[in-house]
Amino acid sequence: MYHSNFERTCMAVYYGWQHAGELAKTNSHSRLWFYCDILHYFFKYGLGSQRYILYHFENKSKEEKERAAALFHQKVFVGRKEADKQRKFIAKWSSIKYQTTSRQQRRRNAAYRKFFHTGEKLFVEYGVTIYYYHHLKGNFKVGERVLFARGCDIDITGDLTFEDGAAVSEGAKILTHRHDSSEYLYKREEESHNVEEMNSTKSSIPTPLVIHERAWIGARAIVLPGVTEIGRLSIIGSGSVVEKKVPPYAIVKGNPAKVVGFRCTPEEAVAFEETYFPPERRIPYETLKANYEKYFNAERRKEIRQWLKY
């Protein structure tokens, strides 16, 4: 939950006095002394009274307090300003009012291009969320002629690249981080009583993803963390849940998503590559042929037909 500066100040003043009274019962300093000390570190470093108690500031020397409070500010508040800036940007420009006229749409597209440093001809519809979590921000790269349709949710906690012509349909969700649920890494931050051990990113693991040229992610599809590539000109069917790398030119659908076909044969793909891509960027025929035979041989087609009956 996000609070405004005014709300946080009111909370510090109110709860600081309560916590100061609790500390005064077991320490030699007065309640007023603790109250002033709590407010000092709040206004200087943003350290609330709960953190003051959690990290046992009452037992620290002045030098230890300054060092611990500065470390807390560095770990929590340095990235918060940028996160708040991005949150406010999304709240403003994802509004449906910028969808009403072509002029408003151009304004939104220009704002997204400038804010995220994307390529030209980016088209963004309303309700698009592009955000990072747990104080982790990956490299977000967007090429030319990319579409983000209405209501899609794009996680940029891990590195995320959209190459030229990629499209994300309405309501699709792309995730680029996962959590380690082991007991040690997943324990609550409040269980640690040392500010040096405070780290909200312990259980968060970024997972980089590249969405290649002209790949199309269908409506309400979900790309789970751990998927490294969505291949060139591939199609992800509506409502699919992608758990694995998608090969170039493939058509995948289902939960979990499976390859159910290819947009063209390897020979046709080679002809397309020669027409639209420079030699250094073309996918070798051997790779295209191997993918086709692996996912779409006679036995595999029989399995797909059986699977699509359900």
Active site residues: 177
Determine the Cα–Cα distance for residues 192 and 232; give it in Å rounded to an integer. 46
Q: Which long-range contacts (CB under 8 A, 24 or more apart) does 244-250 make?
A: 246/215, 247/291, 247/295, 248/212, 248/283, 248/287, 248/288, 248/291, 249/288, 249/291, 250/291, 250/295
**Please, are residues 160 and 141 in contact by the beta-carbon 8 Å criterion?**
yes
Give me 1's structure tokens.
């939950």
Rounded CA separation 54/90 (Å):
34
DSSP E strand boundaries for 75-196: 123-124, 129-131, 140-142, 147-148, 153-155, 160-162, 167-168, 173-174, 177-179
Sole residue written with tokens 């807390």:
72
Provide CB contacts within 8 A for 244, sequence distance 6+. Answer: 227, 256, 257
